[in-house]
Homo-oligomer: A and B are copies of this chain.
Amino acid sequence: MDYKYELDIIAKNSKTAFTPLSIASSDEKNHCLALISAQLIKDQKKILEANKIDIDNGKKNNLNSAMFDRLKLTSERLEDIAKGVDDIILLDDPVGKIDGEFKLYNGLLVKKVQVALGVIGIIYESRPDVTVDAAALCLKAGNAVILRGGSESIHSNKALAESMAVAIRQSNLSEFSIQLLPWTNREAVSCLLKLNQYVDLIIPRGGEGLIKFVSENATVPVIKHYKGVCHIFVDKDAELNMALSIVENAKCQRPGVCNAVETVLIHKEIADRLIKPLAQNLTHKGVELRGDETFCSYFPEATPATEDDWHEEYLDKILSFRIVENSDEAIAHIGMYGSAHSDAIISKNQQTCDKFLREVDSAVVYVNASTRFTDGGQFGMGAEIGISTDRIHARGPMGLNELTTYKYNVTGNGQIRK
């Protein structure tokens, strides 16, 4: 099949839809979002039937229970999805906000204005709720979106996209503002990744294979939402109970997410007080412990950790431990093995904390708090398109603001350059 030809048309339609959408008023965009939310509820029956096909196919393909959990829609979940769209209506429109204003030596008035980013391609895996969340966020920020979900949820995604299309056609906005690709294979994605003429940004959300494929094939700018190999460094000056509670929370509250902790680094001077209660508590919660030699000498029930463990995003109730000489060694470990997502120190020593905040170059660096707070909702962004693990344009939680760019508006009264 000639994806290039088809995708050219789709992407060109997105670009054409972008121009009016980028300058649409907040009221127009919010009205459209309200229509979408209502239509999703109206189309509940159709959407759940489509979802059932995905679920049945998933059973045939032996999906694991975590995948079923992400895939399955119910009336309640669909209501939550619609509620999510309603919540986006309530968020401030970032487009048109003034980010700074200054007068030049010659009287020119310069305003830095937030504007919509462009046509955004979102490439994601099996979660149908992303189809609606991502579309609604992009639309609110004035961006046209091209969605490409995974094959497991294709029937659900198509039903959700069709429902959104019905809603958009009742609004002032172009129906091409939100488009779902009907193909779930890599060839189609590969074409999309090279449409620089029409596509301004690709956001891939997913596992190593997907991210690697996108990175290697894209000529369009990419902001990766990659893995979280998050660390907690328990300093010698840590409060013991705080360390126990934060490590447990960061691993156990929801082990399958990117901001869960994967490796705990322990200052050697607190090892003998910390390890026993910490290890017992975690084992009691069903966590498998893997440790370096010193850790295992304190807690022989732990599995010896290998080099691979330090790189691993377990996404599961597994946690690795390493004893370090000092904060420098902890910071160096995080720099070498971390994914620059979220890393925390637990310490009462202000100087050590300041050093950690300055020297750990991750999207979010914590002092005396769980890494689980790296989240657009928790950060007060209202909703997020994901967590960027890249350094360009946006780091950490990406909300509406991060889905915009800026331009300079300069007003004069005849100024010319001397």
Contacts and interface: CB of A to CB of B under 8 A. Distances in A.
Given A19-B335, A242-B414, A408-B365, A102 B380 contact: yes
A405 B392 contact: yes
Q: Is the interface of A mostly helix, strand, loop or mixed?
A: mixed
A407 B362 contact: yes
Interface string A365-394: 111111011000011100000000011110
B379 A115 contact: no
A367 B414 contact: no
A409 B365 contact: yes
A396 interface: yes
A27 B223 CA distance: 34
A221 to B, nearest CB: 5
A110 B410 contact: no
A361 B410 contact: no
Interface in A87-134: 96, 102, 104-105, 108, 110, 115, 117-118
A407 B364 contact: yes
Interface in A63-108: 96, 102, 104-105, 108
A340 to B, nearest CB: 9
A99 B243 CA distance: 30
A196 B215 contact: yes
Interface string A324-364: 00000000000100000000000000000100011101111
B104 A370 contact: no
Interface string A200-224: 1100000000000001101101110
Given A108-B373, A362-B407, A407-B363, A412 B215 contact: no
Contacts of A392: 117, 200-201, 221, 223, 392-393, 405
Contacts of A362: 407
Contacts of A1: none
B390 A221 contact: yes
Q: How many copies does the complex hold?
A: 2
Nearest to A390: B221
Interface stretch (A43-51, A172-180, A245-253, A295-303): A245-253
A248 B414 CA distance: 12
A372 B416 contact: yes
B219 A412 contact: no
Contacts of A390: 221
Contacts of A361: 19, 22, 115, 407
B118 A391 contact: yes
A155 interface: no
A158 B187 CA distance: 44
Interface in A310-336: 335
Interface of A: 19, 22-23, 96, 102, 104-105, 108, 110, 115, 117-118, 196, 200-201, 215-216, 218-219, 221-223, 239, 242, 245-246, 248-250, 253, 335, 353, 357-359, 361-370, 372-373, 378-380, 390-393, 395-396, 405-417
Given A253-B417, A369-B416, A373-B415, 16 more contacts: A104-B373, A104-B380, A108-B369, A117-B392, A201-B391, A221-B221, A242-B414, A248-B416, A357-B409, A363-B408, A367-B410, A367-B412, A369-B413, A392-B405, A395-B405, A396-B407
